[in-house]
Copies of this chain bind each other. A is one copy, B any other.
Amino acid sequence: MGSSIGQSPERPVRVGILGATGAVGQRFIQLLEANPWFEITAVAASERSVGQRYGDACTWRLSVDCPATVRDLIVQPCEPDLDCELVFSALPSATAREVEERFADAGYGVLSNASAHRMDPDVPLLIPEVNADHLGLIAIQRERRGWDKGFIVTDPNCSTVGAVLALKPLHDAFGLRRAVITTMQALSGAGYPGVPSLDILDNVIPYIAGEEDKLVKEPLKLLGTFSAREGRVIPADIRISPACNRVATRDGHLETISVELERPATVAEAVEALRAFRSLPYELGCPSAVEPTIIVREEVDRPQTRIDRDAGHGMAITVGRIRPCEVLDLKFVVLSHNTIRGAAGGSILNAELMIARGMLS
């Protein structure tokens, strides 16, 4: 826990979860239950589940049991008359666009893990440690869309988060020009039921639908510059070439990254930049924030998916094997937990940042 110099809520914020019965929805419940700033007061899901006890509607798949208080909640439809202030959205992209807008229109704050609104010019795509100032888009969003209290804030795709957290300090210190990224992504990234076991046992699948496109575009917005005058984020001038692969791991996306920099950097300088990185939400006292957010390991064979994915309760990323690249400038390996840091945990941290900044009172 950070020393609290930001605001903290007097009483837990009452939150609902959209898409509560799915894999990310369950992760939201597990993390929020243990979070002192929030209280789960509503769960919503698709028609099939509406009206049932959550405990009956949902096949719970985490090894920690479902919290008893949530188990007895009645599943609501995904309509904006939920008993809560904020909603966390774990909706599939197809339905997320319209449903999230209706919630924001009705005055709810929407913290979305869906991809639908990520690239909207007036919607923050947010990693609190990276681009907290992009929250300036909310005023613009409300004005453009005629929303009074409501808003939409999104968090990036699970394969983007680890890469951008590692690239941010290098970009600030040395200027990032180009990056070649190969991912080895975990099964939980495909949701549930997701990848059939027959497809992945003794196999690697060198393709994940839609994934490379997100990894090309999202980092440019995340590392871009918020211009209040222009009312938008000016994307960073970076080129990224991703190759995304599915491997037989449960959680944790491992990525090999080669970067070209504007100013030369030694391995030692890169390590120093990564280690000097400070977490704003940690300094503000956000309960999900960790320090260090970027763990640099020096063992020759780390990070490893299974060993390092839970570092910092799944909210830290681990960088290792930092070394010169024979083709570009430097190369390294990054690991991040895809359903915590890269999904539910990221959305929750976004909400905490807004609370700490006094944007939710």
Residues of A within 8 A of B (CB): 23, 61, 63, 178-180, 182, 184, 187-188, 192-207, 216, 239-241, 243, 245, 247-250, 254, 256, 258, 260, 300-308, 310, 320-321, 325-328, 331, 333
Contacts and interface: CB of A to CB of B under 8 A. Distances in A.
Given A178-B327, A243-B256, A248 B196 contact: no
Copies in the complex: 4
Contacts of A207: 300-301, 321
Nearest to A23: B198
B256 A203 contact: no
A192 B198 CA distance: 7
Contact of A201 (B23, B187, B320): B187
A205 B254 CA distance: 9
5 contacts: A182-B243, A184-B184, A192-B198, A201-B250, A241-B331
Given A180-B180, A198-B250, 6 more contacts: A184-B247, A197-B248, A201-B250, A206-B321, A243-B333, A260-B327
Contact of A202 (B180, B250, B321): B250
Which 4 residue pairs of A and B lie closest in terms of their CB atoms, listed nearest first?
A182-B182, A193-B196, A207-B301, A243-B256
A322 to B, nearest CB: 12
Given A247-B204, A320-B206, A241 B326 contact: yes
A307 B201 contact: no
A256 B249 contact: no
Contacts of A300: 207
Contact of A195 (B196, B247, B254, B258): B196
Contacts of A301: 205-207
A203 B254 CA distance: 10
A301 B190 CA distance: 15
A249 B301 CA distance: 19
Contacts of A180: 180, 258, 325, 327-328
Nearest to A62: B307
B61 A249 contact: no
A316 to B, nearest CB: 13
Contacts of A328: 180, 241, 327
A325 B23 CA distance: 33
A326 B240 contact: yes
A184 B326 CA distance: 19
Contact of A241 (B308, B321, B325): B325
Contacts of A198: 23, 61, 187-188, 192-195, 250
Contact of A326 (B187, B200, B216, B308): B216
Nearest to A178: B327
